[in-house]
Amino acid sequence: MSHAQESLSLSIPEDMMGQRLDHALAHLSNVSRTRIKELLKNGCIEQNNRNVTLKASSTVYAGDSFMIHLPENRSMTLIPEAIALDILFEDEYLLVVNKPPGMVVHPSHGHDTGTLVHALLHHCESLPGINGVERPGIVHRIDKDTSGSLVIAKTEAAHHGLVALFAKHDINRQYLAWCKGVSNWNHQRIEQPIARHPHHRQKMAIVSTGKTAITNADVERRFDHQFSRMRLTLHTGRTHQIRVHLAAEGLPILGDSTYARNFNPGKSLPEPVRNALDQLTRQALHAEILGFIHPITQEEIFCQAPLPEDLSTLNHALEHM
């Protein structure tokens, strides 16, 4: 079976008898109910090896078998680009890459070339275009200037499985951040809602009516009572979540031009630290660990992205203050 066309064979168990067809198939396949309804409407689902007219509201019975035919991927309008990828894991269903700082994940206004998607289209024969032709295979994203682990689906079934894992927060996502300041705690569960900033639309902020956002923060090391290296575990994935949460705790991420005030390294700091900070052109944030149960093979996947040069240099300088 090619990656461009897939079929899923499902059987209704006894404990699901009496449920709506769209609900049962979505639960068994990890394909969204909206997508199931679309496939039903287009005649892409067979019942008991027969092409029959099926309604989303139909009742299912134990032992009923269904074949879901996932249509071929839509052709991409983007031009693949031969951009090198640092691949941490890959099989026929998905891959995990170590995204470098400065690379945009998917095309957007002002970023119509050189994105991760352009590189993926060159690397992979096909990618599921169900997020629209500009975001094939993309399940989640990290900011342009954040480096680290990112998982990409190579088939539609893998995409739906990964989306389900993210929705249930069954993904181990750990980040490293280097911050200005030190805390009076070693571990903190930061649970502050996040929404668009009411006055600065390019920023996010803690807003009482915002969406739930939960970050576990652990101090890995304090440097001379001035800086900290933090390990952050995400339980939700709001835009700029770590950056907003740490800034609210009085621990702005070094190099963050959006959520941290300008920081001018004083001459009292050791020269290697001053140099590392002067050369830092982005927020010191790295998506180090990505772990999950493979949605197709059920294999336990654990990826650890090595530090890029700028953060490795910064960390080494701070450790030798």
Instruction: Note the pLDDT tens digit of each residue in 159-187.
Output: 889 999 998 989 999 999 999 999 999 99
| Alpha-carbon span 312 to 129, nearest angstrom | 36
Query: Averaging pLDDT over each range in 27-31, 54-58, 313-317, which range is the top one?
Result: 313-317
CATH code linked to domain 6-70: 3.10.290.10
Q: Where are the domains of the chain?
A: 6-70, 87-167, 172-319
C-alpha separations of 204 from 144, 193, 253, 287, 296 in Å: 16, 10, 15, 19, 35
Active site residues: 143
pLDDT band for position 4 (50/70/90)? very low
pTM, to two decimals: 0.76
Q: Which two tokens stand for residue 10?
A: 């499902």
The larger pLDDT score, comparing residue 214 to residue 76, is at: 214
| Alpha-carbon span 115 to 70, nearest angstrom | 27
Same fold, 6-70 and 172-319: no
- Listed in sequence order, the residues at least 6 apart from 180 whose beta carbon sits closer than 8 Å to its beta carbon are 226, 227, 251, 252, 253, 254, 260, 263
Tell me the per-residue pLDDT of 184-202, one tens digit each, with 9 for 90 and over. Answer: 999 999 999 999 898 887 7
pLDDT at 129: 60
Superfamily (CATH) of domain 87-167: Pseudouridine synthase (3.30.2350.10)
pLDDT at 321: 87
pLDDT band for position 75 (50/70/90)? very low
CATH code linked to domain 172-319: 3.30.2350.10
- Listed in sequence order, the residues at least 6 apart from 38 whose beta carbon sits closer than 8 Å to its beta carbon are none
| Alpha-carbon span 281 to 240, nearest angstrom | 17
